[in-house]
Structure 1
Amino acid sequence: MEPTPVVRETLAALRPGRAWGEVRLVDEVGSTNLEVRDLPVWSSVVARRQSAGRGRRGRAWSDTEGHGIACSLLAEVDLDGLGDGALGWVPLATGLAVRDCLVSLGLDTALKWPNDVLAGPAEQKVCGILCEALPPSAKGEPPRVVVGVGVNLDHEAPDLPVPTATSLRLLARAAGRPAPTRDAVVPALLDALRDRLDPLDLTSLRRDYREASATLGREVEVHLPDGSVLRARAEGVDDDGRLRVAGPQGSATVSAGDVHHLRHQPPS
């Protein structure tokens, strides 16, 4: 099928020299993460509206007004020489990729572990990320991961999903810059994701994540699924992307899947 003019323009805006799968740009979809699963690797589905999206730990995520960007990329992650635990870095790499994209558009942001992208002194959230590993398609093939990103693009304050969120339009206005357009953000985001995931370079990821992190060195509250709260200092990220903390209750290493919520404590 011949790509539509919008898809052709998006493909033309991507950095040359890479083989991509299908790129589908649609107005509305239930879940981009579900739509991209059966496409060739390095395919993407991008929608204005998502009516049945999901966040981490099964939370609902939707934008029925069409102010955001819902983007899912089917990535193939080569773990050769890295070990299976390196797959835990994919969500962190995705957060870094979103930050790379926004910095390229002139919008400075930071990361809250594992992959919340925050902006400004109030640490407002600008996007949501959900990465889902798929069953192996064939023995010996690299793992495939659906990388889902939902960006708050042109919301005004009353339209934001939660009071602690912001949008690229609001960030650009505060910085005295023109608001980034959907046509500019989508190819920049796809290129940034590909840069971070193909290949998965753990050396640069660890270095860049430390520099971009708003969590490391901070006092945090780690809310666990059983309702307990671990109050500690975020000391680092281990080789598998898990957060190392230490405090009065002792030291611990927690994975993103084990944490219901992480909150930065305000400075004392």
Structure 2
Amino acid sequence: MPWPDVFLSLLRLEAGYVSGPRLAKKAGISRSAVWKHIKILRRYGYAIQSRHGLGYKLVGQTDLPVPWELAKVLHTSFVGKHIVYRETIDSTQNLAISLASKPDSHGTVVIAEQQTSGRGRQDRKWLSPRGGIWLSVVLRPSIPTAKITLLPFVTGLAVYDTINTTGLDARLKWPNDVIISDKKVAGILLDISAQADQVNYAVIGIGINTNVDSSAISARLDGIKITSISGELGHTVNRLDLTRSLLENIERYYVEIEQRGVDTILQEWKKRSDILGRKVTVVQNNKMIQGVAADVNYDGSLLVQTDHGVINVVSGDIHVSY
């Protein structure tokens, strides 16, 4: 049991205040260490009152997705059974990739309260202040290499379902964004190591603008419309609950594609996306493709109907006319 959980259990045993000496004796630490532990727990989001002569009292729980709290509520078989948590990190994706080659890394999740060098597709900077959900999931898939490009679709469905539990109407935008009212609320990144007939590992990075100031992020991005869950709702949401839901949904959809194939995943993704049938402009290395988004192929590529025929689009920045 991690020390925060041990220490919190001591506070929860008492209805009122617990003295510093009693906490020190029960935890087997010094009285100065008790104060250090209290400060750390407050930083983790727990509300702890302190009164001279009485001691400490736990009066509020955290909503941060810390491992010891997730372990109590997470119902998965492998995703999140091992969680690495950092208050600050350069990138959860970088740390997850460094762990991915280990044989027992399948399902490992790396979570951070903030990232200093978070990245999106094409190595673009992903702004990740405190208040969001920033995490990476390590998978060692048994699915064929040809299907690995559909993992962002699996993840997109998981993010969609998670956000929509708040009552918002999120939609999926090809290839790996989640939007609300044409504004980006979440993004997905995939890093893989594969051979011709085998996937060594896949690391899925997920960033959800949860309880963050989206206007501050938008001000630092040129021409990209950004929103957040709290901004849309007008109040903050519980990130511990959302992270639990997200990890459970990832495992559910991952098992679906692993056991049943791509058909269901693609059909569900299409239902949750509003891109099909709309006019789109795809930008690829200063080249523009204009047409109508006709369908999504079995490898996840976008079929665009142009004046010159159907073009199979594998990557690019897409602009949708609503």
Q: TM-score, normalised by structure 1?
A: 0.85
Q: Structure 2 CA distance, aligned partners of 1:140 and 1:22? A: 28
CA contact (8 A) 2:145 2:194 kept: no
- The one-character-per-residue Cα deviations of 1:127-169 (angstroms, maximum 9, x if unpaired) are 1211111246xx9865421000011111234323446110010
Q: Structure 1 CA distance, aligned partners of 2:243 and 2:72? A: 12
Correspondence 1:113 to 2:177: no
Correspondence 1:232 to 2:280: no
- Relative to 1, partners in 2 of residues 1:3 and 1:109: Cα closer, same or farther, differing over 3 Å? farther
- Relative to 1, partners in 2 of residues 1:143 and 1:220: Cα closer, same or farther, differing over 3 Å? same
CA displacement at 1:49 relative to structure 2:
0.7
Unaligned residue ranges in structure 2 (runs of 5+): 6-65
For 1:255, the equivalent position in structure 2 comes to 314
Detail structure 1 runs of 4+ shifted over 6 Å in the superposition. Answer: none
Query: What SS does the corresponding residue of 1:53 show, helix, strand or coil?
Result: coil
Aligned-pair RMSD on alpha carbons?
Answer: 2.2
CA contact (8 A) 1:46 1:71 kept: yes
Unaligned residue ranges in structure 1 (runs of 5+): none
CA contact (8 A) 1:231 1:249 kept: no
State which of 106, 121, 126 in structure 1 corresponds to 2:185: 126
CA displacement at 1:231 relative to structure 2:
0.5
CA displacement at 1:42 relative to structure 2:
0.3
Q: Structure 2 CA distance, aligned partners of 1:157 and 1:60? A: 15
Query: What SS does the corresponding residue of 1:188 show, helix, strand or coil?
Result: helix
Q: Structure 1 CA distance, aligned partners of 2:159 and 2:186? A: 9
Correspondence 1:75 to 2:131: no
Deviation larger for 5-14 or 140-149: 140-149
Q: Structure 2 CA distance, aligned partners of 1:130 and 1:208? A: 20
Q: How many residues matched?
A: 250
Q: Which has the higher contact order (CA 8 A, sep 6+)?
A: 1
- Relative to 1, partners in 2 of residues 1:106 and 1:263: Cα closer, same or farther, differing over 3 Å? same
Correspondence 1:206 to 2:240: no
Q: TM-score, normalised by structure 2?
A: 0.72
Q: Structure 1 CA distance, aligned partners of 2:197 and 2:4? A: 36
Structure 1 residues 90-105: aligned runs within 5 Å: 90-105=151-166
Query: What SS does the corresponding residue of 1:251 show, helix, strand or coil?
Result: strand
CA contact (8 A) 1:216 1:234 kept: yes
